[in-house]
Structure 1
Amino acid sequence: MGSEGLPAVTIHVTGFKKFHGVAENPTETIVSNLKEYMKKKGMPKGMVLGSCSVLEAAGQGGVSPLYQILQSAINSKDSESSSPGRIIWLHLGVNSGATRFAIEHQAVNEATFRCPDEMGWKPQKVPIIPSDGGISRVRETTLPVEEITKSLAKKGYEVTTSNDAGRFVCNYVYYHSLWFAEQNGTKSLFVHVPLFLTIDEDTQMQFAASLLEISILGVLFLPSVL
């Protein structure tokens, strides 16, 4: 089955700046260099690379800028995507203790920060979106996580699925993004990456490119085709 004639899928990507214990965040480097990297590599057919934004590693203090970025994708006149259903938000965050990539199934409506974020906020057992339920409320991505993970593994990457994005800023952003996705008919996915000391920058850039390509197949085709 080909993608000829189908509207393009637009993928917007975010990463994070430094935070406590991580002076150089690999996701800031990946996201900052992604457009140039994909230009040289060649964009997959059926994909448009939209905004590439680096977020402050902050929860409550970063919500307003986050929603401005999310909303801009819906309002963008430049998007070749004809419907919100063909917009994917791909969020990258670092897990400094990880030895492989992790594709996150879900986020939990709980902010319990182990240390203050970059704006000094340190919530404990606080609902991320109080109107969305208690701290046990879970939201799941509508993208085929298992199939995406298997496809990336076939390409030789050290990658796993995960049901726990933590309770820090990564989970905080993912929960807001999944809530926004449900409200607006878009799609959202969070991926944790290791430090460059564990998996080098070139491999991580290649991984990001493969992730973009495989993610659009999750929208264009049935998961069984991946």
Structure 2
Amino acid sequence: MGSEGPAAAAVTTVHVTGFKKFHGVSENPTEAIVRNLTEYMNKKGLPKGLVIGSCTILETAGQGALVPLYQTLQSAITAAKESESSSSNRVIWLHFGVNSGATKFAIERQAVNEATFRCPDEMGWKPQKVPIVPSDGAISRTRETTLPVEEITKALAKKGYNVMTSDDAGRFVCNYVYYHSLRFAEQNGIKSLFVHVPLFFTIDEEVQMQFAASLLDLLPSIC
């Protein structure tokens, strides 16, 4: 008889971010979603194989917030390497941002290497047609998530959510963060996904919390 125990079950660790307020949005719904997500999921019951690694609220800023952003991203890699079962762990960065004019949730397929901010970010930066990562080349360069956005969108729509797949995350801070995250994910063998949500005025907070929970429920089986 062999002495080996059963193979460790795969664990999907999800690190979640949202944003603070910014110009024109005094109360960012993603701040509330991310702040309350761990408690909400613990009450609901985490799906098997899912761990919430961290929940972080980011400044709504581009260049000026890069250091804390990369510290946040790197923490996922460090935690995975320290895990005894790191070989069976999967890491996903899940970013939530608000689109104040939206009426639906949007699963973002890609980010573009362009920062063109319609208004100054929270640190006063207002770039125009600037490459996010100059070494990546032109502002037309895109990076796509390796997660199956169509499959995720269809599964959430079946649950009754008003959700769509999007190929345009804008050119503001959401796209800026997503581009850096996708680049970091590619370099480190992990995955990244960005989701735009409407204001609570359009889709209320409880429905948005349910949506976030349903998305987390999907990730262990879909990634």
TM-score, scaled relative to structure 2 = 0.94
Tell whether 2:211 aligns with 1:207.
Answer: yes
- Distance apart, 1:216 and its partner CA: 2.2
Conserved 8 A contact 1:12-1:90: yes
The alignment-based identity, stated in percent, is 76
Structure 2 stretches of 5 or more lacking a match?
A: 1-6
Query: Deviation per CA, 1:81-120, whole angstroms, max 9, x where unpaired?
Result: 6249710000000000000100000000000000000000
Aligned to 1:86: 90
Residue type at the aligned position of 2:164: T
* Corresponding residue pairs, total: 216
Q: Which moved more, 1:73-82 or 1:94-103?
A: 73-82
Question: Aligned in 2, Cα 1:213/1:111: closer, same or farther, shift over 3 Å?
Answer: same
Residue type at the aligned position of 1:145: V
Tell whether 2:71 aligns with 1:65.
Answer: no
Q: Give secondary structure in 1 for the equivalent of 2:56.
A: strand
Residue type at the aligned position of 2:20: K
Tell whether 2:38 aligns with 1:38.
Answer: no
Aligned to 1:222: none
Aligned to 1:116: 120
Alpha-carbon distance between aligned partners in 2 of 1:125 and 1:211, rounded to the nearest angstrom: 33
Question: Aligned in 2, Cα 1:38/1:79: closer, same or farther, shift over 3 Å?
Answer: farther
Alpha-carbon distance between aligned partners in 2 of 1:95 and 1:63, rounded to the nearest angstrom: 21
Aligned with residue 75 of structure 1, among 51, 75, 78? 78
Residue type at the aligned position of 1:168: F
Structure 1 stretches of 5 or more lacking a match?
A: 220-226
- Which structure is larger by alpha-carbon Rg, 1 or 2? 2
Question: Aligned in 2, Cα 1:30/1:87: closer, same or farther, shift over 3 Å?
Answer: same
Aligned to 2:185: 181
Q: Which moved more, 1:207-216 or 1:194-203?
A: 207-216
Flag as ranges the 4+ runs of structure 1 deviating above 4 A: 77-81
